[in-house]
Structure formats: C-alpha cells, structure tokens
Structure 1
Amino acid sequence: MSGDEVTRAASPEREQLLVSLRPVAFGIAYRMLGSVAEAEDVVQEALLRVHRSLEAGEQLASPRAFTATVTTRLAMDELRSARVRRERYVGDWLPEPLLTDGSAAAQDPARQAETADSLSMALLVLLESLSPEQRAVLLLHDVFGYGYDEVATIVGKGEANVRQLAVRARRHVEERRPRFTATAEKQTELASRFFAAARTGDLAGLESLLAHDVELVGDGGGKAPSLARSQRGRSRVAHTLTNWLRALRRLPDVEIRLAEVNGDPGAMFLVEGRLLAVWALDVVDGQVAGVRAVVNPDKLVHLGPVGDAYALVRRLGGERPGD
C-alpha cells in the first residue's frame, strides 16, 4: 500500500494528521536528495511507517519528530544508493527544479517543500559534496531548527559527534557560498532584464548583466542535448546562451515563462506548450553569477508535459545548444 493509499484508507483524524505531516517529510527528503521522484518515494514510505506505528497502538509523543526521524534515516539510505548512480551520471548533475512562486504549476510538491528558504539550486549542489550524515545534521539543525540533542537522536549519533559534523558541514558550505546577494526585488528586476535580452538575442545587453566569472551549468543527463561540461566567463557564457536561444527562436510557438525556481528567479522554456527546460539564476551583488539549466526530461515531468529535445534539434537541422 502506497503512502497516498494509506492516507485515503485512514480514519478522518488519521488522514488529517498524515496530510499535515507530508510537507515536513517532503521538505527534509527533497533537500537531502535533490530529487522530487526520490523524495516522493521516501515520503510515502515514511508516512506508511507512521501509519503502521499508530495502527499498532504506539503512543507517539510527537508525530512530527517521529516523521522527521523516519524520513531522515530513509533519505540517508537512499542517498547512499543514489550516490552510486550519480557517479555514473552523464554530464553535470543538478537538482530537480521546484517552482516556488505560488503558480498553479507550483502547487504542492508538499506545499513547495514547506518553505522556499534554503531550496536554491546553488545550495543543493553544495550539499551534494557533503556526506549523508553531514547533510542531515546541517539541514535538521540550521534549516529545520532541531536542537543538537534532537538531531543526535534522529541520526543515531552522539551529540558531540553531531556538533562536529555540523561545524565541518557549515564551514564547507560557507566557504563556497556567495558572500553578497541581492534583495528579492533586485533579483526579479535583474531576471526580467536578463530574459528580455535573451528573448531578443541582445548579446551586449546579456553580457552586461553577467558577473565576470559567471558559470553556466546544463543538466541533460544524456537524455537531452546539453553542454558537455560547465562553462565559465562572461563572454563565453553570453555567446553560448545567445547561440542556443537564437536556434530556439527558429521553432514555432516558443514561450519563455518567468518563474521562481527553488526560491530564485528563473524561467520555464516551452515549445508548442511542452516544457523543454527550466533555468534558475544565481544573483550575487547585482549580477547574474550562475545560470543552471535543467533539460533532462526525467527531471521535468513533475511540472507537466515535456517536449522531445532531440526531435527539436533534428527540426533545427542538428544545431545544438552551445554550437
């Protein structure tokens, strides 16, 4: 029985409880795994275990804490398994994007992972470099506000050990995080200018918005045309983006729909009503410091109908992004 089936089969009171716990579980699982599909699997199993515990007559002092514990441990197990798959992943790996702007397409997953805070792709990519234990400790303490004693119980380690894991994880993340960020209003304004320049092919305008060491990362997973490796540098990235968008504009019914992606400004690229890519921008100190483009169709299906990128390339006569 799946987690959703359990929820529907439970008593009204139990169903209400399980529904209320779903955002907690998804918020933890998605940040741990960076995958909507993997997170949903973990959430269903976690809610199933909560249901079974209650059915068995267990008195849960805090169903929320119990759910966090079960979800974290399941996510850590899944992460260890996922790491083997990600080592074989074709090209750069990026998290599956979440729309967090309150639009219809953004509804759920689990109330936008409970909060858009700490969901940025930049942070989730940094978390990939941490061990499962470090990631769990950092998220539970710094993001979800659990005390070190509670985190120790959840991850099954001593409190002193947990504190050490948190210090190391925090240092690793802070060393690589941007020092300056823009306000939400400035991010939105900059993103509007960025995508306006992208729509018109304004190379000079686009280049003027990019940081000198801007990074462009594309994730096709071997299932859609993408960059072979990430690119750096204002001129190189600007030329790559304008070349790709110039080719895209040759197709009929192209739409660039502005969206908030993982709490950051971004856009959805649709061709003939089907999603082709989702971009998220890292805005630092008034400039675009990073562009993260997810084109792997497996990572977009939760957002709606997905287009066939390779078929579109054939219609363009073989011209690929970055050519």
Structure 2
Amino acid sequence: MSVADLYGELRPRAFAIAYRMLGSVSEAEDVVQEAFLRMHQTLERAEPIASPHAYIATLTTRLAIDQLRSARVRRESYVGEWLPEPLLDDPTPAEQAEAADSLSLAFLVLLESLSPHQRAAFLLREVFDYPYPEVAEIVGTDVDSARHLVARARRHLRERRPRYHASRRRRDELTRRFFAAVEEGDLSALETLLAEDVSLHGDGGGKVPALGRVVAGRQHVARTFLAGMAACDRLGGHLRLTGINGTPGAMVYDARDRLVGVISLDIADDRIRAIHSVVNPDKLHHLQGAEDPGARRITPGPPAR
C-alpha cells in the first residue's frame, strides 16, 4: 500500500487522537503531518513497519504529548480563559455518537486537568478502546503503569464531572427551548433550562471582546448571555443552529454574514450545565465557509422587560 493510500486510511484516527490530546485543530494538523512525514521517511529507508495503524497511533500520540507540554506553557500567558478550537459535527451518526462523549468542549477543557501521559493513556483506552498492552507500548511504559495512569485519570475526571446523560430526545427538546428563549429574549424561560450551578465561558484570546472571567449561577448566566445575544441583534447579527463537537450549538454571524463566534451547550441531568462561547478569530479560521446545510437561522431578540 502506498503512503498516499495509508494517509487516506489512517489520517482520520490520527487526527482524532491528536485533536483530543491538544484541543487545537491547527496543532493537531501539524502533529498528524509530522507523524506521516516520519512514517514516509521510515518507508523510504526500507525499514519494515509491522502495523501501520499501531505505528501512526504511536507517532501521533508521542508527538502530541510533546506538543501538549509546550502548548501548556503558552496557555499560561493566554489572555482570558482558554477554550478548545471548535469543530462542526461529522454528519455520520456513528461519529456523532462517539463525539458526544469524548469531543465536547466541556470535556476537552476537563482533560486539561490531566498530565499529558494521563490524558494519552485515558484517551487511548477509554475513547479508542486500545488494549492495555498497546496503551503501554504507545505511551512508553509497562502495562501496570498504563493501568494506573488510566485509573487515576478516570477517578480525577469523575470527581469533577459526574456523568449524567440526557437522552437524545430530551437533549433536542432542551436545545429547542433554549434557542426559542434566546430568539424571544425570554429571561424566565431561559432560567428554567439552566442548572443551578451553570457556568458561562468565553474565549476571545485578547483579540476581540469576550468575558473577562467565568460567569456562574443560573440568574447571572441567563442575564449575561441574553445581554450578549441582544448586542448581536443590535449589530445585525444572527445565529445558525448546528452541532458543535458532538453537542448542540450555534454559529454566530455578523451583519456581513461573517462567522464571528461559536456557541456550544453542555447538557446533562436534564439541564444545561455550561455554555461555551469561542469568539477568538484565530480559532475560527478553519470554520470560515463551513456550514451545516440544514442549519436553522434565528435572530436573537432583546431581553423581555
């Protein structure tokens, strides 16, 4: 099989690993390109590769671990809250099912609390279902250590985010009511959909106005979010509803129909637990021109008085 054929077959899994490790589309793309370049150089030297799948997974993971270490240093000086770069949902149902559990912006933010090796081991085992011997080989440790890495990561994540799943039907209903309240500027209706400890997150990266800090609490979040949507309306903006990283969300456009933001809803236990808003233009470049053809357009209304 040629390198081009291998690239087409192996790239989706390599990107999936790299993106979940790094939370950055551009950095994940760089890691994947470097991994395939190294595989190409190995093949040119006529060195045998017993399993291209295992080889590229190992290269991708180890490169991502190194990249994550340096990325964390840069993120320490990031202006405001750092959020992952968003992705539009893959239209394939199987991909959406996987994304809903492991690709949401809320979950990727939570993964930031793990060490690079914990994050790699957890993702390989819990998301991509690699057996422990392969996890150990990929991250460069023994099987017992790999088990400990995964166990510590699992425990750490469980303590910070209990897993209460909403059914697809319930999630769709909450989403419909949420954006109806946004369209009508209905503060009371919005508050009833939010968890008591809901949080609102914003990432402008110092490039455009955004939240200076996380807003928490049902009333504060509802008022702050509707005020932001009202400002969008006054400037002639609108939303197009779509799936973002496996969760309900919307793309935000200005009066000239340019993408200026992405909104993602984190839904669990029959309530909206968090709202993430990414408006840093550097994190939206890869989405310019991309749009779900079935996306419904809405115009936010001013908050009802």
Task: State the TM-score, normalizing by the size of structure 1.
Answer: 0.85
CA offset digits 1:185-236 (Å, max 9, x no partner): 2212211211121122111111111111111011111111111100111100
Measure, in 2, the Cα distance between the counterparts of 1:193 and 1:178. Answer: 24
Q: Which moved more, 1:181-190 or 1:139-148?
A: 181-190
Q: Which residue of 1 aligns with 2:245?
A: 262
Matched, 1:126 2:126: no
1:28 to 1:62, Cα distance in 2 relative to 1, 3 A: same
Secondary structure in 2 matching 1:173: helix
| Corresponding residue of 2:41 | 52
Query: 2:13 matched to which residue of 1?
Result: 24
Task: Decide whether the 8 Å contact of 2:104 with 2:245 is kept in 1.
Answer: yes
> What are the equivalent positions in structure 2 for 1:174-253 lying under 5 Å apart?
174-252=158-236
Counterpart position of 1:313: none
Post-superposition Cα deviations, 1:79-101, rounded to whole Å, max 9, x if no partner, equal 00001001111111111111115
Q: Helix, strand or coil for the counterpart of 1:291?
A: strand
- Give, in angstroms, the shift of residue 114 of structure 1: 11
- What TM-score do you get using the length of structure 2 for normalisation? 0.90
Long gaps (5+) in structure 2: 291-305
Report SS of the residue matched to 2:109.
Answer: helix
Deviation at 1:49, TM superposition (A): 1.1
Structure 2 residue aligned with 1:166:
150
Quick one: structure 1 residues 155 and 179, their matched pair in 2 at CA, closer, same or farther if it must change by over 3 Å? closer
Deviation at residue 255 of structure 1 after TM alignment:
2.2
One-letter code of the match for 1:91? G
Give secondary structure in 1 for the equivalent of 2:114.
coil
* AA in 1 matched with 2:262: V
CA distance in 2, matches of 1:187, 1:113: 14
Task: Give the secondary-structure state (helix, strand or coil) at the position aligned to 2:6.
Answer: helix
1:99 to 88, 94, 97: 88
Q: Which amino acid aligns with 2:238?
A: E
CA contact (8 A) 1:178 1:284 kept: no
Counterpart contact for 1:216–1:231, Cα < 8 Å? yes
Q: Tell whether the 8 Å contact from 1:24 to 1:114 is kept in structure 2 after alignment.
A: no
Q: Distance in 2 between matches of 1:285 and 1:115?
A: 19
In the alignment, what sits opposite 2:130? 146
**What fraction of aligned residue pairs are identical, expressed as a percent?**
57
Asked if the contact 2:96–2:246 (Cα under 8 Å) also holds between the matched residues in 1, the reply is no
Aligned-partner residue type, residue 27 of structure 1? A
Runs of 4 or more above 4 Å deviation = 111-115
- Counting matched residue pairs gives 287
- Match of 1:213, SS state, is strand
